[in-house]
């Protein structure tokens, strides 16, 4: 049995979806333009686990216009997507969050209009299912609103990051928001508590970032001259004895960008287990910090219809506020 068929069967057993020995060729329609490839496939391959989708894209079994691409590739109208053999029937029992989680997400909605929902994402909650997580924010919203068939994540936040998360309600809004992100039409402002006391009031980090995969399969991001351009602007909000509260404005939007750039300055985010300082993290854990202190505090969206910029804010979580009060 070939390795491809073994991987197919292993991935599909997760949702009891049988293999069909037929390659599919999917033509991307204009309405789907701008979506990430993994999201596009998740919508087209109903019932197929995201872990299977990621694995086949990374292995090169999924191809776009006969070439290999990454899961975050943005599909374009007319693209031809080759999909390996898989049956796309819906799973018998799709994963769903419990009622308490649904209530929590309902209470976390901070903005809603005809185009967009903004959720104040709780720390520790994934934005979507996959990689050992059965559901996330987007699956919960779809369960809460079964009549809305076009709900899609506009961007992502790390699981340990809280704050403003955009979900488009229409395909047209999703395309517009993706274009605004590419063109700098959306400002994303974060608050982070950094280890160490800054003496300057601001700093701009212009350091390219490159994703790496360690031997155990863990993905990390490093500053690398051959990486993708990445720029973050930091501004001091308040200084404490051995830490600094900053606002971080994303000029670009790379994976783990704020976390890696803060560490690159020698003042990593407190509570960051991947890029942080273990000694400082332990010291602040004793003060009550049980998570990474990174919060997506504000969005400013300049819609192309000429109206004033839409501003959405999410306050710091109570546990983070309590920590700052103890420090102050």
* Closest listed residue to residue 266, CA positions, set 234, 226, 298: 234
On the CB side of 98, CA atoms within 13 Å amount to 1
Contact yes or no for 249/187 (Cβ under 8 A): yes
What do you get for the CA distance between the two ends of the chain, in Å? 64
Which 3 state secondary structure label does DSSP give 197?
Answer: coil
Contact yes or no for 219/260 (Cβ under 8 A): no
Q: What are the φ and ψ backbone dihedral angles of 107, each rounded to 5 degrees?
A: -70, -15
Q: Which residues fall within 8 angstroms of residue 179, CB to CB, at 6 or more apart?
A: 34, 185
Residue position matching structure tokens 């990454």:
70
For 177-216, give one letter per residue: b (16+ CB within 10 A) or e: bbebbeeebbebbbbbbbbbebeeeebebebbbbeeeeee
Which residue among the candidates 38, 158, 160, 277 is catalytic per the annotation? 158
Radius of gyration, CA atoms only, the chain: 21
Query: CA-to-CA distance for 104 and 62, rounded, in angstroms?
Result: 36
Query: CA-to-CA distance for 230 and 142, rounded, in angstroms?
Result: 33
For 141-158, give one letter per residue: b (16+ CB within 10 A) or e: bbbeeeeeeebbbbbbbb
Q: What are the φ and ψ backbone dihedral angles of 56, each rounded to 5 degrees?
A: -75, -30
Which 3 state secondary structure label does DSSP give 104?
Answer: helix
305 in catalytic set: no
As annotated, the active-site residues are 158
């Amino acid at each position: 049995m070939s390795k491809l068929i073994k991987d197919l069967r292993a991935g599909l057993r997760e949702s009891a979806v049988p293999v069909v020995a037929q390659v599919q060729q999917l033509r991307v329609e204009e309405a789907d333009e701008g979506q990430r490839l993994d999201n596009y496939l998740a919508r087209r391959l109903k019932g197929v686990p995201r872990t299977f989708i990621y694995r086949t894209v990374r292995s090169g079994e999924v191809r776009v216009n006969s070439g290999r691409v990454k899961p975050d590739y943005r599909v374009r109208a007319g693209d031809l997507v080759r999909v390996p053999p898989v049956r796309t029937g819906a799973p018998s029992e799709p994963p769903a969050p419990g009622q308490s989680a649904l209530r929590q997400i309902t209470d976390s909605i901070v903005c809603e209009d005809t185009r967009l929902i903004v959720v104040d994402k709780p720390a520790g909650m994934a934005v979507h299912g996959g990689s050992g997580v059965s559901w996330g924010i987007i699956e919960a919203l779809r369960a809460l609103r079964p009549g809305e068939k076009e709900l899609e994540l506009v961007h992502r936040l790390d699981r340990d990051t809280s704050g403003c998360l955009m979900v488009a309600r229409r395909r047209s809004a999703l395309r517009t928001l993706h274009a605004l992100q590419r063109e700098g039409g959306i400002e994303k402002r974060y608050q982070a508590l950094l280890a160490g006391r800054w003496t300057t009031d601001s700093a701009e980090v212009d350091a390219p970032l490159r994703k790496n995969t360690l031997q155990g399969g863990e993905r990390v991001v490093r500053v690398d001259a051959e990486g993708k351009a990445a720029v973050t602007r930091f501004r001091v909000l308040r200084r404490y004895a051995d830490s600094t509260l900053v606002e971080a404005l994303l000029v670009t939007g790379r994976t783990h960008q704020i976390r890696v750039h803060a560490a690159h300055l020698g003042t990593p985010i407190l509570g960051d287990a991947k890029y942080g300082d273990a000694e400082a993290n332990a010291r602040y854990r004793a003060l009550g910090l049980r998570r990474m202190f990174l919060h997506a505090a504000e969005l400013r969206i300049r819609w192309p219809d000429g109206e004033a910029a839409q501003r959405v804010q999410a306050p710091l979580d109570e546990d983070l506020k309590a920590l700052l009060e103890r420090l102050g």
